[in-house]
Each structure stands twice: as C-alpha cells, then as structure tokens.
Amino acid sequence: MENKNKNSRKLKDGILQGLIYLCTGLTVAILAIIIGFILYKGLPGINFNFLTRQWDDKTTVVEVECKDNIKASSDENYVESLGITLGENDGSIYIAKIDKDSPVLYAKNMKHVGYTLEEKDIIGKAGDTKFTNISAKDAADAISQSTGTIRLKVTRPGGGIVPMLVSTIYIILLSLVISAPIGISAAIYLNEYAKPGRILRTIRFAIQNLAGIPSIIYGLFGMLVFVQIGKMEYSILAGSLTLSIMLLPTIISTTEEALKEIPKAYRESSFGLGATKLQTISKIILPGALPGILVAIILSIGRIVGESAALIWTAGTVAQIPTAFTGSEAGAATLTTKMYWLIKETGDLKAASSIAVVLLILIIVLNLASKLITRAFLRKRGTH
C-alpha cells in the first residue's frame, strides 16, 4: 500500500513537472517566434539611410556655381561643370556620384543657407528643364549647357527614422524631468514623513490603482485636459505631461522600496551625530538608495519607449522633428506611434518591423542596464 502511494505521488509529480516544462517551452517558443518574425521582416530594411534620413521626402530648390575648369570624361552621364554623375531609376534622375571638389557640396537654398547635395538626391528640374521621362544622358547634356549659376530642384528621399527617434528622445527627457522629481519626492514623504494610518493607506491604494489604469484612458485624459482645455494641441509637451502621470506609480513604488532597504541604524546614527532629518535624507538615505532610484528611472524610460495609445491622442502621429513645445510645430510621432500608424493606415509591415527591431534593441539595452544596476545594488548591500 505504501509503495502504491509512493508511485502515485511520483506519477503526480512527474505529470506536474512535465506540465511546467511544457508551459515553459511554449513560452520560450512563442517569444522566439515573435522575435524571429520581427527580425526576419525588419532586419533587411535597416541600413544607414533608414537610421539617418528624415521620414518624408524633402524637396528644396538650390543654386550651384558651375565650374570653369571642366575636365573631360568618358562617362556620358557625367556632368563636368558640376562634378557629378547622374543615374536613372523608374523615370527619376538622381545623383549617383559626387566628386570631392564638386560645386554641389557648396550649394545654397533660396534663403542663401548652405544645403550640401548628397548621393541619391533626385533632381527634378535644372533651370527651366524638367527631368520627366528623360534619360540620364539627356539630363547630363541639359545641365552641361548651363553656365554660371544653375538652379536645381532637388528631392532628398525619406524613409528614415530620425524624426521619430528625436521625438522619442525629447519625450523621454521631458517626461522624466517632470515625473522624476515629483515621484521621488512623493516616495520620500511616504517612507520618511508620513505616519501610518488611514491617510497613508488611502494614498498607497490610489497609487496602486493609478498603476492599473489602461494607458488609453490616460491618453483620453491627456487629450481632454492638455490638448483641448490647455490649448496645447497635439504636442510633445501634452504627450510628456500625460506620460508623466502614467510614470508616477512606477517611480513612487520603486523608489519607496529602495528607501526601505536603507537600514534604520543609518538614520539613528545620523540623528545621534546631530544631523537633521533633511540632512539625513539628503546625505545618507538618498545616496544609499540611488541604485534603486536609477532602476525606477530606467523602467520608466522603457515604459515611455513602448507607449503608443496615450501618445497618439496627445503628441500626434506627424513624422517631424518638433521645433516647439506646443502648437502645430510641436506635434511629433515616436517610434511606437509611427509603427502603429504604418500598420493601421498603410499596411507597410516591412517598415513597421524595421522600427520594431530598433525598439527591441532599445528595450533590451534598458533591461540589461536595469539588471546591471540591480546587481550592483545587491552587491553593495551585501558588503555592509
């Protein structure tokens, strides 16, 4: 009978262990499939242009001084007076190669501001000649007939993530500047000043509820309060203020836990030496809790990078580098909002996957940084 019970327990343990292994394997497999699919679709689209260009094509009219010392060339697509070689692609004429001493490197736009032409720039017009359904040889001949100053209509192809990357950095910095001081100060109050009781329990309950509210509700709140009532329009400031509210529960909770890890003996020793409470907090407690506070900030950055719902309704989806905090020039799309827009509006899965690869790299770097800081914190704690 006893052997039978042992065999029954072993069978149950084996079944339970098998289920655990199965669930773990399924989790790892699903994660590997998701990451593998994104890498398979997105990696081919990541190149230098993708990482350095604007998203939208940019058309500019420039003026270029033609060279007098023309050198002969056997290439029929070479424009001697400008030191460039033209190419053609799908009916468009583009700059295939630029000499080191080419005048196009010193071109100026209509505001007489330097605008250096680059390879792959598309030339749509030279003087009064439009380059529509024309060969590269004919385009080179047309440009070569010009002397003195020639005016070119140039389109710089887009397809890059620079505006979204810059907007993401702006929103990260603004959100942290707003939320970090408030969240850290609130955590200090809750851990160091607040007395146990109903008020403290109510505050902590409210913080827990804030952490559980869906981000789209924060987005609705931000749109109503900051965009409409505050007259900020779709802007990085409206988006940052909305995200700051979302980040407060994470910063407060993580910072408070870090403050709790500081031994009470440190406080008592500081008070025994005649230090005030504020001196003890600033000189003893905060430096000791700094690794935990940094973890809170890194986790907050990860939340900002991955947020889309709240930003679509507050920061907008325009792929531009914001030049103001509010108004029409302040609307900006982050990496996640642009990825959402690409899938929803255009169905461009390839470009969206390329952006997703960049996001994955950012998230992995942030998680590694969080782990390293946590280990350093635990190692430091273990030495005391």
How confident is the model over 20-68, as pLDDT tens digits? 989 999 999 998 998 898 889 889 888 888 888 888 888 999 999 988 7
Q: φ and ψ at 347, to 5 degrees?
A: 70, 20
Quote the pLDDT of residue 101. Answer: 87
User: Taking the mean position of all CA atoms in its chain, how far away is CA 52?
Assistant: 14
- For residue 109, the cross-strand partners are 62
Question: CA–CA separation, 310 vs 222, rounded Å?
Answer: 8
Query: DSSP strand E in the chain: where?
Result: 58-65, 78-79, 84-89, 92-98, 108-109, 122-126, 129-130, 149-156
Quote the pLDDT of residue 146. Answer: 81
pTM assigned to the model? 0.80
Q: Residues 201-251: pLDDT tens digits?
A: 888 888 888 888 888 899 999 999 999 999 888 999 999 999 999 999 999
Closest CA to 336 of 303, 367, 384: 303
3-class secondary-structure state, position 114: strand
Percent of the chain at pLDDT > 90 equals 29
pLDDT at 384 over 60: no
Percent of the chain at pLDDT > 70 equals 95
Instruction: Calculate mean pLDDT across residues 127-134.
Output: 86
Q: Residues 296-310: pLDDT tens digits?
A: 888 888 889 888 888
Which domains can be identified in the chain, with CATH numbers?
56-156 (2.30.42.10), 162-382 (1.10.3720.10)
Question: CA–CA separation, 171 vs 175, rounded Å?
Answer: 6
User: Taking the mean position of all CA atoms in its chain, how far away is CA 350?
Assistant: 18
Report whether 292 contacts 370 (CB < 8 A): no
Quote the pLDDT of residue 341. Answer: 86
- For 122, the token pair is 């598309």
| DSSP code for 262 | S
Quote the pLDDT of residue 174. Answer: 94
Report whether 61 contacts 115 (CB < 8 A): no
Classify each residue of 263-282 as buried b or exposed e, where b means 16 or more C-beta atoms within 10 Å of its C-beta: eeeebeebeeeebeeeebbe
Question: CA–CA separation, 58 vs 367, rounded Å?
Answer: 36
pLDDT at 7 over 90: no
pLDDT-derived band at 71, boundaries 50, 70, 90: low
| Cβ count near 170 (within 10 Å) | 21
Quote the pLDDT of residue 73. Answer: 61
Quote the pLDDT of residue 302. Answer: 84
